[in-house]
Amino acid sequence: NAGVTQTPKFQVLKTGQSMTLQCAQDMNHNSMYWYRQDPGMGLRLIYYSASEGTTDKGEVPNGYNVSRLNKREFSLRLESAAPSQTSVYFCASSLGSQDTQYFGPGTRLTVL
Amino acid sequence: SQKIEQNSEALNIQEGKTATLTCNYTNYSPAYLQWYRQDPGRGPVFLLLIRENEKEKRKERLKVTFDTTLKQSLFHITASQPADSATYLCALGGYNTDKLIFGTGTRLQVFP
């Protein structure tokens, strides 16, 4: 099992450009999450999906959209990137509530 | 709003000693608490989960305590090794929600 995979690993964007971060899990998990991690701020939840077909906002959803394409895949889209979105983005999945979260390797995004 | 505090300063200890990391929280009544390990450039990896009705949990050289009166969890690594050097994150989970709230993490450095 690959666990949680994320693409790309690194990305540089110019302000105003758009992009989609991809995440997939092969553990048949119900819940999936997108976090961003910034120095001194810790992991902050952007969006999550408790099951296929549902998505909910987390702590910092502004400037992002998500799609739970199927049970395996959960994508994060930046429609118009801003320098404040420079961060490391982690996708995670869990079987359900109160379960361990499994994290992907992260995407390091720089917005110039 | 909810707040989780972990010591932002790095903890430096000698190999063989016991490392103790602290996680304090306010304005929250968690159903459970999790500890994760994060190595540089990687996603967090789950270590232990302790529920609100449990005082202590052990796994090999790791021990976690949870005091809901003090609103504090302590994470202990006994007989520490240089390979234990990493950042350790605590995360709080609530009732009937998949969401976790993460602390900023404490960096542990174990020197020979």
Q: Are A92 and A32 in contact (CB under 8 A)?
A: yes
pLDDT at position A55 over 90: yes
Question: Could you give the maximum distance between any two Cα atoms of chain B, in Å?
Answer: 44
Listed in order, strand segments (DSSP E) in B10-105 are 11-14, 19-26, 32-38, 45-51, 56-59, 62-67, 72-77, 86-93, 100-102
Two tokens at A97?
Answer: 């509530």
pLDDT at position B2, please?
A: 74
Give the CA angle between residues B2, A33, B67 to the nearest 5°. Answer: 35
CA distances from A74 to A17, A54, B9, B77 (A): 21, 11, 35, 35
Q: Are B45 and B104 in contact (CB under 8 A)?
A: no
pLDDT single digits (tens) A80-90: 999 999 999 99
pLDDT at position A96, please?
A: 84
Inform me whether the C-beta atom of residue B43 falls under 8 Å from chain A C-beta atoms.
Answer: yes
Contact residues, chain B, for A35 at CB < 8 Å: 102
3-state secondary structure of A85: helix
B7-31 core/surface letters (b: 16 or more CB in 10 A; e: else): eeeebebeeeeebebebbbeeeebe
Inform me whether the C-beta atom of residue B45 falls under 8 Å from chain A C-beta atoms.
Answer: yes
Inform me whether the C-beta atom of residue B40 falls under 8 Å from chain A C-beta atoms.
Answer: no
Inform me whether the C-beta atom of residue B8 falls under 8 Å from chain A C-beta atoms.
Answer: yes
pLDDT at position A59, please?
A: 93
Q: Are B97 and B81 in contact (CB under 8 A)?
A: no
Query: What proportion of chain B, given as a percentage, has pLDDT over 90?
Result: 83
Which segment of A14-23, A33-42, A73-82 scores lowest on mean pLDDT? Answer: A33-42
Map B82-105 to HEC letters. HHHCEEEEEEEECCCCCCEEECCC
Q: How far apart are CA B40 and CA B108, in angstroms?
A: 12
Q: How far apart are CA A92 and CA B42, in angstroms?
A: 12
Contact B98 A58 (CB under 8 A): no
pLDDT at position B8, please?
A: 77
pLDDT at position A35 over 80: yes
pLDDT single digits (tens) B48-93: 999 999 999 999 999 999 999 999 999 999 999 999 999 999 999 9
pLDDT at position B9, please?
A: 85
Nearest by CB to A104, from B31, B43, B101: name it.
B43
Q: Are A87 and A43 in contact (CB under 8 A)?
A: no
> With a CB-CB cutoff of 8 Å, which residues 70-99 of chain B face chain A?
89, 91, 93, 96-99
pLDDT single digits (tens) A57-67: 999 999 999 99
CB pairs under 8 A between A and B: 55
Query: What proportion of chain B, given as a percentage, has pLDDT over 70?
Result: 100
